[in-house]
Structure 1
Amino acid sequence: MDNREALGSWLSGPRAAAEQMGTDFGYRGERLGLPKDGPGSLATVGRRFAAVFIDWMLCLVIAYGLIAHRDVQGSNPWTLALFGALSVVTLGTVGSTPGKRLLGLRVVRVDGGRLRIGPVVLRTVLLLLVIPALVWDRDGRGLHDKAAQAVQVRI
């Protein structure tokens, strides 16, 4: 391997270097037994972020208009509290927040069953901390989903 190949593998990352050596990682979700496409397949990162954004905006509007009485500074802690409550209640009952439902997503256990309240609360607390949700494995699952043994799938 000359210097140019070594530099190229370093710049493209360890996955690309491993793939050049013949390693097959498969598609996202294959290790979890999920289909490659269609219903039940792993949700894309863009759709998941869009769903969180929709849910956050919904909670922001409620906190700003109804609870904080139009005090912009006072609506911030209420928005976080409403977001947590919305996540726990909706994921614990129907498996989908309003944003996830609009975008055709659902949160289920890795084995395909419904997520129980304990893992839902753990997942929500870790999501509110933000950092665990931004650290992903090679399937694109955040640490908050891994800790709750959950996966976000398309419906």
Structure 2
Amino acid sequence: MARWIESWLPGSPAGSPANVGHPGEKFGLPASGVNATAPLGRRFVAIFVDWMIAYFLTLAFLGVDALGAPNTSWTILGVWYLLTVLPTAIFGMTAGMVALGLRVARTDMARFVGVPRALLRTFLIALVVPPLARDHDGRGWHDRATTTIVIRTR
């Protein structure tokens, strides 16, 4: 029997059915290979790649002297936000996701993620905690709020 606190935690055994299959099964995704749910490690590396691209682009425009400036981190965040929202809305993937073989897909399998979903999803990723609170399918709060899931493309 689950403890009472587990009943409201996302991805807790108490909130999940007893006979759960592989991650993504309820969305019709395979257990492994192409179109399977993406592992957490790959997702973190993809975000890291995107963050480094934003970091270097910001420094390319502001110069290396901007490293000590108090607003540089906010500028990097803004550049990362734009570099994440636009490609995710249109293509379903960012540069980091392409490098790691990942893609954001809607759970209703519509073709495009769309701008409103991409805006909300990226904002929640920037808050850091939503991607860490995951369910059985590997979807964080940001994916659950936008009805998306990250899948493998290779």
User: Which TM-score band (shorter chain)?
Assistant: 0.7 to 0.9
Q: After the TM superposition, which residues 12-51 of structure 1 pair with which residues of structure 2 at under 5 Å, given as runs?
A: 23-51=18-46
CA RMSD between the two structures: 1.5
Q: Deviations over 1:94-142 (max 9, x none)?
A: 1110000111111010022221111111101111111111111111111
One of 107, 112, 130 as aligned partner of 1:110 = 107
Q: Aligned AA for 1:93?
A: I
Unaligned runs of 5+ in 1: 1-13, 16-22
The residue that corresponds to 2:56 in the other structure is 61
TM, length-normalised to structure 2? 0.81
The residue that corresponds to 2:96 in the other structure is 99
One of 119, 122, 133 as aligned partner of 1:135 = 133
Whether 2:81 is the aligned partner of 1:84: answer yes
Distance, in Å, in 1 between the alignment partners of 2:74 and 2:63 is 10
Unaligned runs of 5+ in 2: 1-11
Q: Aligned AA for 2:79?
A: L
TM, length-normalised to structure 1? 0.81
User: The residue matched to 1:70 in structure 2 has which SS?
Assistant: helix
Distance, in Å, in 1 between the alignment partners of 2:52 and 2:144 is 26
One of 69, 72, 76 as aligned partner of 2:67 = 72
Higher relative contact order structure (alpha carbons within 8 Å, sequence separation ≥ 6): 2
* CA drift at 1:93: 1.5
Moved over 4 A (4+): none
One of 123, 146, 149 as aligned partner of 2:144 = 146
Corresponding pairs, count? 135
Q: Does the 8 A contact of 1:109 with 1:115 survive in 2? A: yes
Distance, in Å, in 1 between the alignment partners of 2:19 and 2:85 is 37
Name the % identity. 35
